[in-house]
Amino acid sequence: MVIGIVMSFKELTQFYIRDWGTAPWSGLSNYRVSVDFDAPVGQALLHSFFVTVAFTLLSVGLCWLIGTAAAVYMQDTFAGRGLLRALFLVPYALPVYAAVITWVFMFQHDNGLVNHVLHDQLHLTGKPSFWLIGDNSFYALLTVSVWKGWPFAFLIVMAGLQNIPRELYEAAALDGAGMWQQIRRITLPSLRPVNQVLVLVLFLWTFNDFNTPYVLFGKSAPEAADLISVHIYQASFVTWNFGTGSAMSVLLLLFLLVVTGVYLALTSRGRRTGDV
């Protein structure tokens, strides 16, 4: 970590990587380049940052929603519940690379399954769409990310639900509370501590996710899906400017620390007042 921070203050290009101790100090210039939002590098970083924030919010929100809905639904016993539960966990259990490469095939323009269904069978689009290049790539990325992430939310929420005493629901039902009332008044408040950790973990994972966009799009992601992790990778490895790449990483680290701190402070204060 210290090395990473030291590197961010150096002019570490290909001329110095062989012995990077000798790279000249560049002071804050790597940072200045990264946050100068009028210049192309800073602009691109800012753009990538916004894309990542939007992507993360949507992905975490959807993962949580689908995961919770599925977990609540699975609480009732019915035939085939075990099978469905196992099935739901498959995306989470598959190796990332194998799973995402399958999506790449499905998203292909000419022979992909997605276009086959949307265009050839359902005729929803006028002509086959591109999913791996251009603007649609954002939705492709979101789809894969949610598909990959929601089973984790499902698993955690399901575990959380086991701890809610059934008597609470029975009492509520006697008092005439409907399904929605029960979820709103009992399930969600009881899940609060679980959700606090779940959302944070999902947020950090999604924000930092490198494998999904890298396997989907390769070294240079389309602008619409230019996530910050790949962006930093490109800034350091592909253009061989490790100093600027490190500076961006340090900035990202600071941002995530701030978000995590604020989030924990807010949610735990909320809980303390809720406890009273």
CB closer to other proteins out of 184 and 269: 269
| Single residue of 240, 258, 262, 269 touching other proteins by CB under 8 A | 240
Rounded to the nearest 10 degrees, the angle between the axes of helix 96-107 and helix 137-162 is 140
Task: Determine the 3-state secondary structure of 10 from DSSP.
Answer: strand
241 belongs to the binding site for other proteins (CB under 8 A): yes
**Alpha-carbon span 121 to 100, nearest angstrom:** 24
**Alpha-carbon span 112 to 198, nearest angstrom:** 34
CB closer to other proteins out of 33 and 74: 33
For residue 76, how far is the Cα from the chain centroid? 30
24 belongs to the binding site for other proteins (CB under 8 A): no
CB closer to other proteins out of 19 and 175: 19
Site mask for other proteins (CB under 8 A), range 44-73, x = bound:
x-----------------------------
Q: How many residues does the chain have?
A: 276
Shortest Cβ 184–other proteins spacing (Å): 26
| Single residue of 17, 54, 87, 258 touching other proteins by CB under 8 A | 17
Q: Are 104 and 217 contacting, i.e. CB atoms less than 8 angstroms apart?
A: no
**Footprint on residues 188-227 left by other proteins (CB under 8 A):** 197, 200, 204, 208, 218-220, 222-223
Cα 2–Cα 259–Cα 94 angle in degrees, nearest 5: 80
Position 120, amino acid: D
Q: Are 152 and 88 contacting, i.e. CB atoms less than 8 angstroms apart?
A: no
| Single residue of 15, 50, 73, 97 touching other proteins by CB under 8 A | 15
| Single residue of 114, 228, 236, 247 touching other proteins by CB under 8 A | 236
- Long-range pairs, 128-132, Cβ under 8 A, ≥24: 131/107, 132/104, 132/107, 132/108, 132/216, 132/217, 132/222
**Alpha-carbon span 154 to 189, nearest angstrom:** 17
Q: Are 156 and 64 contacting, i.e. CB atoms less than 8 angstroms apart?
A: no
Comparing CA positions, the residue from 206, 203, 213 lying closest to residue 137 is 213
Comparing CA positions, the residue from 175, 196, 245, 219 lying closest to residue 12 is 245
Site mask for other proteins (CB under 8 A), range 104-143, x = bound:
----xxx-------------------x-xxxx--------
CB closer to other proteins out of 99 and 232: 232
| Single residue of 21, 80, 95, 176 touching other proteins by CB under 8 A | 21
| Single residue of 40, 61, 82, 165 touching other proteins by CB under 8 A | 40
For binding to other proteins (CB under 8 A), which residues are involved?
1-5, 7, 13-15, 17-21, 39-41, 44, 108-110, 130, 132-135, 197, 200, 204, 208, 218-220, 222-223, 234, 236-242, 245, 249-250, 252-253, 256-257, 260-261, 264, 268
